[in-house]
Structure 1
Amino acid sequence: MYATAKLTAGGNGILGCWLIAAPFVLGAPAIGRWNDVVVGAVVLLVVGYNRVGTTGRHPASATGAGLVATLGLWLLLAPFVLGFEGLPLWNDVVAGTVVASFGSYDAYVSAVGRERSVRTPVE
């Protein structure tokens, strides 16, 4: 996995841990707590799976990174759909933006890395 992809995956892992703890720290409403804990746990599990599943320079799972990007987009929209206000709203908007960005980058790197590994040199 490339160095930048390792950093973005690690960043998403840290954000997954934060999402699990944040609702209790920030005093989110009940639906917000469950949303953040479930999304944070899934992000953490998928990022961990991608990290453990990579060996050497083989790219991570593009599907897993795409799932993380989709969860980031959900985090971005969830406060408006579920009716959060105040600090929990902004926490989810910022965390969702970062998770979606990092997940999208990881999905791109995975897809490009897989495409390059399939190609054979023309002689």
Structure 2
Amino acid sequence: MSTVARYTAGGNVVLGCWLIAAPFAFGTPAISRWTDVLVGLTVALVAGYNYDRARRRRPLSAVGAVLVTVLGLWLIVEPFVFGLEGPHLWHDVVWGTIVAGLGSYDAYIATITGRTLSFQSAIE
């Protein structure tokens, strides 16, 4: 597995941990705080699984990478759904964009690797 896949999955683990801690540090409103914590926990766990797979040179989980991407997209939309303003809005939009970007790259790599492996096993 490529080094870039390890960095993107590892980056999402770090961002997931940040999403767990940041709402408490910045005093985010309650509904958004718990949404960020749940999304951060899920992102950290799923991206951690993909990081471990990349570290062991195994194909990434495409389903997990897509889940991380969808959660990143939810972070972009969530402040508008809950009516947040100011720094809380931009915090979720910026970090959601980064999480979705890294997750979508991992999903792309997982899809390409999965096709390559199945194609190679069909030849053998």
The whole-number CA distance in structure 1 between the counterparts of 2:116 and 2:99 is 26
- What secondary structure, in the 3-state scheme, does the structure 2 residue paired with 1:119 have? helix
TM-score by structure 2 length? 0.92
The whole-number CA distance in structure 1 between the counterparts of 2:58 and 2:86 is 42
What is the Cα deviation at residue 88 of structure 1? 1.1
Structure 1 stretches of 4+ with a deviation exceeding 6 A read: none
Q: Does residue 15 of the first structure (1) align with residue 10 of the second (2)?
A: no
What is the Cα deviation at residue 55 of structure 1? 6.2
Q: Does residue 31 of the first structure (1) align with residue 34 of the second (2)?
A: no
Q: Deviations over 1:45-81 (max 9, x none)?
A: 1111222345643221000000000000000000001
- What secondary structure, in the 3-state scheme, does the structure 2 residue paired with 1:28 have? coil
Matching residue's letter, 2:58 = H
Q: Does residue 46 of the first structure (1) align with residue 46 of the second (2)?
A: yes
Equivalence map 1:63-102=2 (5 Å): 63-102=63-102
Q: Please identify which structure carries the higher helix content.
A: 2
- What secondary structure, in the 3-state scheme, does the structure 2 residue paired with 1:84 have? coil
CA contact (8 A) 2:6 2:55 kept: no
What is the Cα deviation at residue 35 of structure 1? 0.7
CA contact (8 A) 1:27 1:88 kept: no
Q: How many residues get paired?
A: 123
Matching residue's letter, 1:91 = H
CA contact (8 A) 1:62 1:106 kept: yes
CA contact (8 A) 1:58 1:113 kept: no
What is the Cα deviation at residue 84 of structure 1? 1.1
- Match of residue 2 from structure 2: 2
Matching residue's letter, 2:59 = P
The whole-number CA distance in structure 2 between the counterparts of 1:18 and 1:51 is 17
Identity of aligned residues (%): 55
The whole-number CA distance in structure 1 between the counterparts of 2:30 and 2:66 is 27
TM-score by structure 1 length? 0.93
